[in-house]
Structure 1
Amino acid sequence: MIRFIVLGSAALFTLATTAHAADPAGKPASTIEFWSGPYAGVHAGYGSGRARDVDASGPDSYRDIDGWLGGVQIGLNTRMNGLVLGVEGDIAATGIGFSDVGQGFSLDGNLDWLATIRGRVGFIPTERVLVYGTAGVAFAGFDLDLNGGGQLFGGNGTHTGWALGAGVETMVTDKLSLKAEYLYNDFGSDSYNLPDPVNIALRVHTFRIGANFQF
């Protein structure tokens, strides 16, 4: 899955860097101002990271988490010459999680959804290409279930943290754009009663490809 996303991102970057050069010679310049106004779209990708069990009485324990994600986004761009400022919000359902089976117990953790509200700052190397950095606040819904001794304990919580990343986006028509994006999401810990309190902190890397329609 990671290889697919990396190859897809590389292909999109190649498309972005050649889109301007591919225009026929002598073709009149478009009167449409790209990268300005509202947009909405969809995305899909892969996430991986770690769930950390914060133990105040001893060393922390870590569990690797990974899985798919898919969702929607909406945003607004403002263009100032070669600079683009914007804001974007997104939400995704995910299959990111872990399953730990031991003698007499099983522990399952699932990141049910992931959302961010971020600012974007980018530049336009060619008219149809936007390269940007992005940062903002991130939210995640996490479920933790323990099955031990014939008893099932469960809890869910909403983690709040921050997101930081970068991406490249290219206009493939006058209204439709394709993008590839990386985000690092760092969440604070939340407490789960299983039945003893367990504090879980999350860190997730996401790799996403998507499409936006410019209004």
Structure 2
Amino acid sequence: MNKTLIATASVAALLAMGGSALAGDLYAKGGYKDAPVVVAEPTWTGFHLGLGVGGAAVNHEIDAGLYDVRSGESKSIAGIDGISGTGVFGTVEVGYDRQYGNFVGGIFFNYDFGDDISTDVSLLGHDLASVKQTDSWTVGGRLGYLVNASTLAYVLGGYTESTFELSVPVANFSTDDTFSGWTVGGGLETKLTSSLSLKGEYRYTEFDTNTYKTGPLFCHIGAYADIDTSVQTARLVLSYKADLFGGELPVPLK
């Protein structure tokens, strides 16, 4: 019995000495009290939803003439350069950004809506034609650089489709058509909170040429019109960052 008690006491003493030595070693080498404090630093990585408003300026260049229905040969008669119209629109946007150091890359899709952007042609008080842009959507990407932790300067590019309604009252003609083209632009976005940001953005869109032809007006001769359209927009968008896969990324505080 005495031997057992002595052995037990010896083991307990050794364990106590080892624990004290370990604690002293951790303290001396910078243990728990010197561990870096971990905080959450705002990140641009994540999905975002946006809602905004903007203004647009539409420009149409029209080339009109006659063509031979049988051979397809055409002859330009008149050209109109710079028929333009302005208006306002609303926009909704969804996208995803990924931060790489001071750079941010992302993809987006947005839809612009409104029927206030109209281009009208009149002569001596009579309406000759009207072209109205009703809606538009763009899919594309952006690449930006962080001016500071909460401000992003970026450029963008994408593909755009838009619906235009064409009306020619004097000919009792109306139609709507889809124009497609490319978009480039840039902007500045700043974080208001960890979840909300506000951006101002400029875009330029160049659409492909759309051609409209009539049937024979006399004999085998018909009329045609080529329309080249470009649109410039400026928009202000409030975005909400949705952390679908977790919160902010923790980084050591230096």
Task: Calculate the TM-score normalised by the size of structure 1.
Answer: 0.80
| Bigger share in helix | 2
Is the aligned partner of 1:102 residue 2:138? Answer: no
- Percent identical residues: 23
Deviates more, 1:188-197 or 1:63-72: 188-197
Superposed displacement of residue 127, structure 1? 0.9
Match of 1:172 among 192, 201, 215: 192
Deviates more, 1:33-42 or 1:162-171: 33-42
Q: Match of 1:51, as an amino acid? A: H
Counterpart CA distance in 1 for 2:166 and 2:235 is: 25
For structure 2, the 5+ residue unaligned runs are: 1-36, 65-74, 216-222, 243-254
Larger radius of gyration: 2
1:102 Cα offset (Å) = 2.0
- Which residue in 1 is equivalent to 2:80? 61
Shift of residue 96, structure 1, vs aligned partner: 1.4
Alpha-carbon shift at residue 200 of structure 1 (Å): 1.7
Instruction: Determine which of 127, 130, 133 is the counterpart of 2:155.
Output: 133
- Paired with 1:30 and 1:126, the residues of 2 have a C-alpha distance of 18
| Structure 1 residue 118 displacement after superposition | 1.4
Give the alignment partner of residue 209 of structure 1, picking from 211, 233, 236. 236
What residue is the counterpart of 1:14 in the other structure? Answer: none
Answer yes or no: is 1:78 the counterpart of 2:98.
yes
Q: Pick which of 184-193 and 34-43 moved more.
A: 184-193
Q: Distance in 2 between matches of 1:137 and 1:159?
A: 11
- Which stretch has the larger CA shift, 28-37 or 72-81? 28-37
One-letter code aligned to 2:80: S
1:71, distance to aligned residue in structure 2 (A): 1.3
* Offset of residue 144 of structure 1: 0.5
Aligned partner letter, 1:57: S
Distance 1:194 1:81, change over 3 A: same
Q: Specify the code of the residue in structure 1 equivalent to 2:163.
A: G
Task: List structure 1 runs of 4+ shifted beyond 6 angstroms.
Answer: none
Counterpart of 1:203 in structure 2: which amino acid?
Answer: S
Report how far residue 193 of structure 1 moved. 5.1
Instruction: Work out whether residues 155 and 194 of structure 1, in 8 Å CA contact, stay in contact via their aligned partners in 2.
Output: no
> Superposition RMSD on alpha carbons, in Å?
2.1
* Residues 4-37 of structure 1, C-alpha deviations (whole Å, 9 max, x = no match): xxxxxxxxxxxxxxxxxxxxxxxx9961432111
1:69 and 1:117 map into 2 onto residues whose CA distance is 18
2:39 and 2:108 mapped to 1: Cα distance? 26
Q: How does 1:103-118 map to 2 (within 5 A)?
A: 103=124, 105-118=127-140
Correspondence 1:44 to 2:53: yes
Amino acid at match of 2:145: F
Question: In the alignment, which residue of structure 2 is the partner of 1:5?
Answer: none
- Displacement of 1:170 after TM fit? 0.7
Find the residue that maps to 1:60 and give its secondary structure. Answer: strand
Figure out how many residues of one structure are paired with residues of the other and give that number: 186
TM-score, normalised to structure 2, is 0.68
Residues 120-148 of structure 1, C-alpha deviations (whole Å, 9 max, x = no match): 00011111111100011111111100111
Distance in 2 (CA, whole Å) between partners of 1:191 and 1:213 is 41
